[in-house]
Amino acid sequence: MVNANLLAASTPKKLTGEVINIACGDRTSLNQLWEKVCVATGFSGAPRYEPTRAGDVRDSLADIHAAAELIGYEPRVRLDQGLEKTVAALRLTL
């Protein structure tokens, strides 16, 4: 995120009003996200499944092609790495 903001702030292109996705570029299901959060936090509990609701997102995949084209963005940190760094930083504040 920081790198994407720096790229956007320093680009010579006029990007007023442009909307771009900043993400890792990989499809992630809720179950995969749950597993990654469990690994990062050391949590060993089971997920609780509820009936689906209108608008629920099963898989997440942001299209980052515009970010690459407009500001030269490319992911530097994978989702699991970012989760581990975030958890480590939060643990320092507790």
Q: Assess if residue 32 is contained within a domain.
A: yes
User: DSSP code of 28?
Assistant: E
Q: Assess if residue 52 is contained within a domain.
A: no
Which parts of the chain are beta strand (E)? 28-29, 59-60
Q: At what angle do helices 79-93 and 30-41 cross, to 10 degrees?
A: 40
Q: Assess if residue 42 is contained within a domain.
A: yes
Q: How many domains does one find in the chain?
A: 1
Domain that holds residue 68: 2-46+58-93
In this prediction the pTM is 0.77
Q: Assess if residue 53 is contained within a domain.
A: no
**What pLDDT, in 10s, does the model give residues 20-60?**
999 998 999 999 999 999 999 999 999 999 999 999 988 88
Phi, psi of 59 (to 5 degrees): -125, 145
**What pLDDT, in 10s, does the model give residues 58-67?**
888 999 999 9
CATH number of the domain to which 18 belongs: 3.90.25.10
Q: Assess if residue 70 is contained within a domain.
A: yes
